[in-house]
A and B are shown apart, each in its own frame.
Chain A
Amino acid sequence: MTQSDAQLVQETLAGNKQAFALLVRRYERPVRATATHVVKSTHAADDIAQEAFVRAWQQLPKLRNPNVFGPWLMTITRRCALESVCQKQVINYTDNLDHRVAHERNGQLDEKNQHLLETIQKLPKAERQVIMLRYFGQHTVRDLAAIAGRSVGTVTKQLSRAHKRLKSRLQESEK
């Protein structure tokens, strides 16, 4: 049975690092996506994603509402990514990666994907969360409901609204 984010956060705080590993697995792609949106490179996003999870781990006791772990994690990720951009740290991003990562040369997203990612980032929080987990995390709607601690109906509606909003905004930009 899929455990909710809140349950995994509580287990992590109780000392179960494996619970946090499950959160890492769950949010790897959404975090990569968020980092990629800022740094415009899937290669660079790998290190930032790792850093974001480590920071989240360290700051977990400060998370007052474990139900909002996802959005909170994305905030940390954006901050990490922005710091990385500011510091322009020189890191050899190509080391130690095995490679389902980044099909594009140098890890750069093409224009269409970059635009899609930006559009996702501009969605309302709840819709952005379900889109990311649904498509980047490859979770079923039932899983999404369990993760968010909400009903399947609520999540289905959020997903539906997110699709509609995405479609509309993408169409607007294509005009």
Chain B
Amino acid sequence: MKPDKHIEQKLEALAETIGSRNSFVDDVMSKIESSPVQPGKKTETGNIVLRRIKMKSISKFAAAAIIMIGVSAVFLFNFGPGSIALADVYSKVQQVQAFAYKITIKASGNINESMPPGESETNTAVTVSKEYGMKMEQTTHMIEQNKSLHQQIFLISAEKKIVSIDPAMKIYQDIELSEGLFERLKKEYCEPREMIKQMLACDYTDLGRSEIDGITVQGFETTDPAYSAGVFGQRAVTTLWVDVDTWLPVKSKMDIQGNSDTAEASIVIDSFEWNIPARADDFQPVIPDSFTKMGSMMLPEMNENTAIEGLRLFADLTGEYPGKIDLLTLAQKANLFIFRKEQVAQRMQEFRQSGLSVEDVMSNIMQEFYAPIHALGMYHMTLVQDKKDPAYFGNQVTPQDTDAVLMRWKIEGNTYQVIFGDLNTTEMPYEELIQIEPEIKVEQETQAQVIIPDLSKTYSKAQLRQLTYDSMSNVKKMLMACWGYSQKHGGQWPEKLQDLVSDGLDPGMLINPLLPDSDNGYIYLKPPSTRSSQTVVIYEAYHKWDRGINVGFYDGHVEFIRDEADFKNKLSQ
């Protein structure tokens, strides 16, 4: 039976009236991204790499592959200056054509800036061939969710690209590498000679001899930021143990201090196998026809121009320069803001209207908005690794500060390249430079180490996490009670939180579980007559800003805010 045309017309007219909105999907996904409550759990877990895969499709997918390759490369071999011992290691490793090792990452940290931390363990098997490239098989076990995720990453030398595959989701992505980036990665990954050379530039301490699994080893330890390419600043302590008979690495361990921006993690690299047989086929991904390609992405060169483009794009999107430009921070920031920006939404709309598939739209967006910012982080990483004495002042310099030094690094001898606030550049001798550049502020992460938070002294991480959730629940209930109160009182909100108790709220809700002895564990601000969904109504009291606080808003939602400036900004609104 053919559908009645009259009914069809009515339905179509109604559908037109109901309408849709171009940025609706993005708005929903942004809300989901910033939602303090995630599916089935109050937290989502995953290591610093896998997090990016899960958080937002392609961006995480691409970032995961690049970061995993870049970061684990520097974890593996970057080590100490020209001691005789490490030079021996170097001479041994350079002869190796193919080798394998395992990486175990135990992480606890935030999935994004509005989330309390979670825990995960990631096991990665890596095989490297100087001729063919490398491949990684990675499984992450999310402890609290009791779930596992699997990921395969290939760096294919012949094609100068990375292929990242998620077998469970049946998706994959090609990431083409510029010539410079490919050579850089290849050097770091596939040329032990270059890797060891890189390591020899770091400062390290000789730990003497010990024994691991019956093997006599010599230990070396470093906190040199160049070792982690500036990714973790000085928060990473790395130890390498070398077999004293073969002078080949036996084990490497990196402990990374957590702060509000990045996860805490320990990364152990061991189970080395040297001179293993390697065939070209082993390094070619096998992708079933049923898998969906999530578009392609081309990562730009890492140089001054791409760095400037990254800074310009960031400023265009946010009105300011990023506070820090290490790769992880930039990846995290970009993941948080890119899909919320009007310019990005407009471009998505344009791509959609041009008839591109969802996957291709996302790829184009990533290429246009994510890749330049990523390239900035990568370039900064190379400057740190290459000991170019880079300094960046994005936390003090704005796009309006035309003559202020935004970034500088050494190009040769005593001469530095300088990028100003207006993104113009010049070369300058160091003596002139130091007269005009801002003083380097102590990084927040360093301060976090110095100021040991009272809460951390009092509670374990697990306890803190649970109490944070409990407090978040309290704030939510108080907000709901406020709404109920206003219903009964002609739209008027209570004068103080205690008024809610006489209205039926459990008085225990007024006690902040993080400050159980305080009668003022929560600060209440009666909403003014001009208010919005983002008006702060309730927040956790604090003496000194630590890991963040739960904040309740007028529209009833609660966010865990990690950044004090962000909180104060919201409070001032």
With A and B bound together, what is the CA distance between A153 and B67 in angstroms? 48
Chain A binding surface SS class = helix
A59 at the interface (CB under 8 A from B): yes
Q: Interface centre among B3, B24, B57, B169, by most A CB within 10 Å?
A: B24
Question: Closest Cβ of chain A: how far from B114's Cβ, in Å?
Answer: 13
B28 contact from A14, A50, A116, Cβ within 8 A: A50
Question: Closest Cβ of chain A: how far from B490's Cβ, in Å?
Answer: 11
Question: Given A18-B57, A57-B35, A58-B35, are A102 and B17 also a contact pair (CB < 8 Å)?
Answer: yes
A167 contact from B7, B46, B55, Cβ within 8 A: B7
B37 at the interface (CB under 8 A from A): yes
Question: Given A14-B149, A17-B56, A116-B11, are A50 and B16 also a contact pair (CB < 8 Å)?
Answer: no
Q: Interface centre among B13, B17, B33, B46, by most A CB within 10 Å?
A: B17
With A and B bound together, what is the CA distance between A166 and B409 in angstroms? 72
Within residues 99 to 127 of chain A, which ones have a CB less than 8 A from any CB in chain B? Answer: 99-104, 109, 112-113, 116-117
Q: Across the interface, name the chain B residue whose C-beta is closest to A90.
A: B491
* A116:B20 contact, CB within 8 angstroms: no
B487 at the interface (CB under 8 A from A): yes
B20 contact from A16, A22, A32, A159, Cβ within 8 A: A32
For A170, list chain B residues within 8 Å (CB).
7, 10
* B3:A160 contact, CB within 8 angstroms: yes
For A89, list chain B residues within 8 Å (CB).
555
B54 contact from A17, A22, A99, Cβ within 8 A: A17
> How does the 8 Å CB contact mask read for B268-310 relative to A, with 1 for contact and 0 for none?
0000000000000000000000000010000000000000000
* B555:A159 contact, CB within 8 angstroms: no
Within residues 30 to 89 of chain A, which ones have a CB less than 8 A from any CB in chain B? Answer: 32-33, 36, 42, 45-46, 49-50, 53-54, 57-62, 87-89
A14 contact from B18, B24, B169, Cβ within 8 A: B169
Q: Across the interface, name the chain B residue whose C-beta is closest to A18.
A: B57
Q: Across the interface, name the chain B residue whose C-beta is closest to A26.
A: B25
* B7:A24 contact, CB within 8 angstroms: no
With A and B bound together, what is the CA distance between A97 and B3 in angstroms? 34
* B21:A164 contact, CB within 8 angstroms: no
Within residues 3 to 37 of chain B, which ones have a CB less than 8 A from any CB in chain A? Answer: 3-4, 6-8, 10-25, 27-29, 31-33, 35, 37
With A and B bound together, what is the CA distance between A91 and B535 in angstroms? 13
* Tally of contact residues, B, Cβ under 8 A: 54
With A and B bound together, what is the CA distance between A45 and B458 in angstroms? 47
> How does the 8 Å CB contact mask read for B141-180 relative to A, with 1 for contact and 0 for none?
0000001010000000000000000101101000000000
Q: Interface centre among B28, B46, B166, by most A CB within 10 Å?
A: B28
Question: Closest Cβ of chain A: how far from B30's Cβ, in Å?
Answer: 10
Question: Given A49-B24, A98-B21, are A113 and B4 also a contact pair (CB < 8 Å)?
Answer: no
* B7:A21 contact, CB within 8 angstroms: no
Question: Closest Cβ of chain B: how far from A94's Cβ, in Å?
Answer: 12
A140 at the interface (CB under 8 A from B): no
For A36, list chain B residues within 8 Å (CB).
18
For B3, list chain A residues within 8 Å (CB).
159-160, 163
B7 contact from A15, A101, A104, A163, Cβ within 8 A: A163
Question: Closest Cβ of chain B: how far from A45's Cβ, in Å?
Answer: 8
B250 at the interface (CB under 8 A from A): no
* B7:A29 contact, CB within 8 angstroms: no
A166 contact from B7, B15, B39, Cβ within 8 A: B7
* A58:B4 contact, CB within 8 angstroms: no
For A100, list chain B residues within 8 Å (CB).
19-22
Question: Closest Cβ of chain A: how far from B525's Cβ, in Å?
Answer: 18
A175 at the interface (CB under 8 A from B): no
With A and B bound together, what is the CA distance between A39 and B362 in angstroms? 34
A143 at the interface (CB under 8 A from B): no
For A19, list chain B residues within 8 Å (CB).
169
Q: Across the interface, name the chain B residue whose C-beta is closest to A88.
A: B487
For A45, list chain B residues within 8 Å (CB).
18
* A42:B17 contact, CB within 8 angstroms: yes
B21 contact from A15, A59, A97, A159, Cβ within 8 A: A97
Question: Given A17-B29, A24-B24, A97-B21, are A54 and B35 also a contact pair (CB < 8 Å)?
Answer: yes
* B11:A28 contact, CB within 8 angstroms: no
* B32:A20 contact, CB within 8 angstroms: yes
> How does the 8 Å CB contact mask read for B105-139 relative to A, with 1 for contact and 0 for none?
00000000000000000000000000000000000
Q: A15-B54, A18-B56, A24-B24 are in contact. List 5 more A-B contacts (CB 8 A).
A: A15-B147, A18-B358, A21-B57, A24-B28, A87-B487
B residues near A, CB below 8 A?
A: 1, 3-4, 6-8, 10-25, 27-29, 31-33, 35, 37-40, 46, 53-58, 147, 149, 166, 168-169, 171, 294, 358, 362, 483, 487, 532-533, 555
Which 7 pairs, one residue from A and one from B, show the smallest C-beta to C-beta distance? A61-B40, A18-B57, A15-B54, A135-B11, A101-B19, A53-B28, A136-B15
Ordered by A's residue number, 7 sampled pairs between the chains whose C-beta atoms are within 8 Å are A14-B169, A32-B18, A57-B39, A58-B39, A97-B21, A109-B17, A170-B7
A residues near B, CB below 8 A?
A: 11-22, 24-25, 28-29, 32-33, 36, 42, 45-46, 49-50, 53-54, 57-62, 87-89, 91-92, 96-104, 109, 112-113, 116-117, 131, 135-136, 138, 159-160, 163-164, 166-167, 170
